[in-house]
Amino acid sequence: MEDFATVVALVGIVIVVASLLSGVLERTGLPIVAVFLALGAALGPYGLGFVDVGFESPALRVLAMLALALVLFSDAVTLDLQEIREHRPLVWRILGPGTLIPAGLLAFAGTLLLDLGWPAAIVLGASLASTDPVILRSVLRSRALPPSVRTALRMESGMNDVVLLPLVVLSMVFIQQSTGTGEESHFGQHLVGLFLLGPALGALVGWLGIILLGQIRERVGVRRDYESLYALGLAFTAFALAEIVGGSGFLAAFAAGILVSAQDVELCDCFLEYGEATAEMLLLLTFVALGLSLIWIGFTVIDLGVIAFAVLALGIRTVVLYPVLKRSQVSSGDRRLIALFGPRGLSSLLLILLPVFAGIQGAERLFAVTCLVVIFSVVLHGGGIALFLRRNAEPRAAAAGAEAGEQVPERITVEELRELERLGEEVVIVDARAERNLRNSDIQAAGAVRMDPHAPVRDATALRLSQRATLVVYCA
């Protein structure tokens, strides 16, 4: 992995395979991470033996750190703060007891079943309480998912890492100070850096960054392709500044994203889409790197205690979350879906890699146990998501085109439009007819809006359209 050509080749393979398989995987619902774990196994020492990655690899360290920072930033940028305010009780239940109780119960199980000390058990429990956004991505894009379920899962996968990360970091500091392996500093300094310095610097970067973008764009203009790169610059700048001064770069990246979202400034679609696409590529590349050999060490620690812990780790979120959501005005069926869709994946692996990279004693065993749980979760939760998507297929026209192998435009019937509205989806009808045809017609869809196809973001912002709305465009 240290050979530059090998690294570039691996990056290229991931991008090519992800691009070619994106449509097939989205239609079938197959977990994309399973494909890339298999790709890693095929390229690694258990397969063709082209490349291997160990804990000591600087490339893995950089990749994992940047992936986690960019994921936190892109998740924060895409958060709809108005939606969070509207669903405040639901957010509280998911990110409060719905996240912390499973983490605490898993930590307790770690002390009993794995003979861990409390700080190490908290690191493991917090890492495995993280819901993976990559595995969930296909189901979150499906129209078959009820709106309340989509909202709950999107907020959980986008925000619970920020709740769990401080538990991991503070437990690491406690272990280092108790064993004398860390830097000599007061626990209070770490608290200030984690909860104050990092988020403050990140918020400052996000606030100044968007103000600067708006000023430059208004006066001299900014090219769309560079505006998309600007998102990466803000995320990495916030991360680096916080790390330099001893703060948490990860919380800084999340805070920068929150400030970008909170300012409600008109942003090019590419600003959001390119950041999300880059984050997904980094995550998939990390999955391939871990799938070469590291993730498979999970099978080397199997015993009765580890198996019992893994079963508990896969089911504890469901057992806790279903009753926690009882008074959240969510129907019983929707609560069941929210509780069942809780995969453990790369988020857990990235969190548990932090103590490994810090050289904490026993961290590699924690990583191995986490790997075993993640492998089981990819099969169980990923397979469950694929089955759900197959049973609740997308509109018939798209499915028919997929089966025939034809490239057909995505269409929606009037009946499907009415069904979306009945389910409570936010739907906006856009009249895309030419001005001449509009003037010569007395018929227009009820409630339809007009948008300039050359400046849709500007018009959508002016009309105050929700970022989560489904746009239905008609031209006849």
**For residues 274 and 91, is the Cβ–Cβ distance under 8 A?**
no
Whole-Å CA distances, 138 to 30, 298, 386? 8, 26, 9
Outline which parts of the chain fall under CATH 1.20.1530.20.
4-391
Q: 248 burial class (0-12, 13-18, 19+ CB within 10 angstroms)?
A: buried
Query: Could you confirm whether domain 4-391 is CATH 1.20.120.1200?
Result: no
Of 14, 127, 33, nearest to 382 by C-alpha is: 33
**For residues 1 and 56, is the Cβ–Cβ distance under 8 A?**
no
Whole-Å CA distances, 367 to 6, 303, 361, 419? 25, 15, 12, 45
Q: pLDDT per position in the chain (476 positions), as tens?
A: 445 676 677 778 877 887 787 777 766 667 778 888 888 888 888 888 888 888 888 878 888 888 888 888 887 887 777 778 888 888 899 999 999 999 999 999 999 999 999 999 999 999 999 998 878 877 787 777 887 888 888 888 878 888 999 999 889 988 888 876 655 556 677 778 778 888 999 999 999 988 888 788 778 877 766 776 787 888 899 999 998 888 888 889 999 988 888 875 655 555 566 666 777 777 788 888 888 889 999 999 999 999 999 999 999 999 999 999 987 778 888 888 899 888 988 889 989 999 999 889 899 999 999 999 999 999 998 888 888 877 775 443 344 444 444 444 567 777 887 887 887 788 888 887 766 566 667 777 777 888 766 667 777 777 778 777 888 887 75
